[in-house]
Amino acid sequence: MDNKKLLGKRIKEIRKTKGLTQEKLSEMAGIETSSLSGIESGRFFPSLHLLNKIASILNVELLEFFKFVSVDVPENIDDEIIKIIAQQNEENKFLIYKIIKSVFS
């Protein structure tokens, strides 16, 4: 299963445990229900900003969304990490930093 599907599945699991419908979570996050459906089905990757907002609404740490088993690790992981971070805006870079600090501190 690819990472988009794993992430979407994890968001859906957490949403359901919190007793929220897609409609309610979408409303609270300020997005269309179809957008949340696309995220949960693995058709779209949400922005880091949106992920942070959803985590806040669901009252979970952002890291919870990434607690799934299968992740394909590229051979040149250092280059891939640098590339991903370089593509982010300053707000997302700050969130990435917070995630890294929380995991490795």
Mind listing the pLDDT tens digit for each residue in 36-79? 999 999 999 999 999 999 999 999 999 999 887 655 677 888 99
Six-digit token string for 49: 């900003």
Residue 39 to residue 3: CA distance in whole angstroms? 11
Residues 6+ apart with CB under 8 A from 7: 39, 42, 45, 46, 65, 66, 68
Tell me what pLDDT residue 2 has: 83
Residue 76 to residue 80: CA distance in whole angstroms? 6
CATH code, domain with 59: 1.10.260.40
- Domain holding 13, by residue range, is 3-104
Residue 90 to residue 101: CA distance in whole angstroms? 16
Average pLDDT over residues 84-98: 93
Window from 11-15, 57-61, 74-78, 80-84 with minimum mean pLDDT = 74-78
Count how many domains the chain has. 1
Window from 10-24, 57-71, 80-94 with minimum mean pLDDT = 57-71
- pTM, two decimals, is 0.69
Residue 105 to residue 102: CA distance in whole angstroms? 6
Residue 104 to residue 32: CA distance in whole angstroms? 35
Average pLDDT over residues 24-43: 97
Tell me what pLDDT residue 71 has: 56
Highest mean pLDDT among 73-77, 85-89, 99-103: 85-89
Tell me what pLDDT residue 50 has: 96
